Amino acid sequence: MSSDSQSSTDADLPSETPVGVKLGSTRTVVSTPDDLERTLTCLATYEDALTGEERVLYGEEAAVEYPDRVRYMLRSGLPEDDDNAEDAATFFEAFMEANGVPAESGVVYAVPTIDNEEGIANLESVIESSSVGESLVRAYPESLCGAVPAFDGLDAVDSIFLSINLGSTNLEACAYRRGEQLAPFATGGVTGNEVDRRIVAYVEEETQGRVKVDITTAREYKEDHADFENFEPFTDVIQQPGGGAHEFTIEDSVMDAVDEYLDEVVEAVANDFLPELANDYMKVYQLALDERIVLTGGMACIPGLVEEFQRRLSEELQRDVEATAADRPDLAAAEGAQRIAEQLLLHQG
């Protein structure tokens, strides 16, 4: 691909790559035509032992090798101040480079539905100032991007439905009317991170104080074992500081925590979000409840959660509602963003 700028014939059209990106407080996902990659949204820097230059590590490698100084730079999916914006820019550039995303690309990135102008402006400048997205850069709501793969093609952008994003630091809900966001609702009180904190506390209780897991282990328990259909008790081993190992079995801690979480999701949706929507847009509320409610975000990956949400919300509202999700709700926002990018590049011609 070493064509120089002098040969500017029509045959020389740039090959613009459609790229979808979701930056999250816990995980960032990029979707390109050949690849779908996810990483932890964190960064560590160290000094090159030979040259003294600053080097950057990101993702799992940074979290595992530098737990003492790894930095997570997003809150509610947004860089809240200049330092975090700078870290986010460094992280984003490194992640794009590692995935071979070319400068000649059209980038659609997912933004959370959070009322934080400064944070959203920071996120925008992180993406706009990066080396990718020369052809176009556009932002779309995360819960719309995440709903796209749950529909055919780009039908989500042309429908009326409710979308609920279950993230690590936020629960977000809104109605979409052909891409327009109505009655946006968000709370930091019902979150994947809170589930992890509860698992830490419940494991300690369940083991009569013998086992204190850290928050990362709690998250792994949740991601590997939480299951509303077929939960199986599991065992783990901790090394005692004085030597020796202690094996223990977890029967209740994980499912108690996710069970409470799901009750709180249903309560927030039924008692906070839906009444607001009904109040402001009664007809849209009625139309949307006849459609499938789309769940997005990593917490929707828990097996059986979507069906259980549907059952509990139907009971709470005393009417039947249907819920659905993309195959991989944790990756869906980036996949959907990429589909949108493809379409925008086509239109741009």
Ligand X SMILES: Nc1ncnc2c1ncn2[C@@H]1O[C@H](COP(=O)(O)OP(=O)(O)OP(=O)(O)O)[C@@H](O)[C@H]1O
User: How far apart (Å, rounded) are the C-alpha atoms in residues 133 and 16?
Assistant: 9
The tokens of 272 are what?
């906070």
Specify whether the CB–CB gap between 321 and 293 falls below 8 A: yes
Specify whether the CB–CB gap between 164 and 269 falls below 8 A: yes
How many residues bind ligand X, per CB under 6 A? 23
- Which of ligand X, Mg ion, none is residue 226 near (CB under 5 to 8 Å by kind)? ligand X
Interacting residues with ligand X between 178 and 197 (CB under 6 A): 192-193
* Stretch of residues binding ligand X (CB under 6 A), selected from 21-29, 125-133, 267-275, 286-294: 21-29
- 222 forms part of the interface with ligand X (CB under 6 A): yes
- 79 forms part of the interface with ligand X (CB under 6 A): no
The upper half-sphere exposure of residue 276, i.e. CA atoms within 13 Å in the direction of its Cβ, equals: 13
Cα 194 versus chain centre, distance:
15
Contact with Mg ion (CB under 5 A): which of 24, 133, 141, 336? 24
Distance in Å, CB of 81 to ligand X, minimum: 16
- 76 forms part of the interface with ligand X (CB under 6 A): yes
The values of phi and psi at residue 315, to 5°, are: -65, -45
Distance in Å, CB of 117 to ligand X, minimum: 17
Contact with ligand X (CB under 6 A): which of 85, 96, 160, 226? 226
- Which of ligand X, Mg ion, none is residue 123 near (CB under 5 to 8 Å by kind)? none
- Which of ligand X, Mg ion, none is residue 39 near (CB under 5 to 8 Å by kind)? none
- 20 forms part of the interface with Mg ion (CB under 5 A): no
The tokens of 184 are what?
């946006």
User: How far apart (Å, rounded) are the C-alpha atoms in residues 245 and 229?
Assistant: 32
- Max Cα distance, the chain (Å): 74
User: How far apart (Å, rounded) are the C-alpha atoms in residues 287 and 278?
Assistant: 11
Residue matched to tokens 């020389």: 12
180: Cβ contacts below 8 Å, ≥ 6 apart:
none
Interacting residues with Mg ion between 165 and 194 (CB under 5 A): 167
- Which of ligand X, Mg ion, none is residue 299 near (CB under 5 to 8 Å by kind)? ligand X
Nearest to 132 by CA among 178, 81, 94, 80: 94
Smaller CB separation from Mg ion, 74 or 183: 74
- 330 forms part of the interface with ligand X (CB under 6 A): yes
**Interface ranges with Mg ion (CB under 5 A):** 24, 77, 167
**Interface ranges with ligand X (CB under 6 A):** 24-27, 76-77, 112, 167-170, 192-193, 219, 222-223, 226, 297-299, 301-302, 330
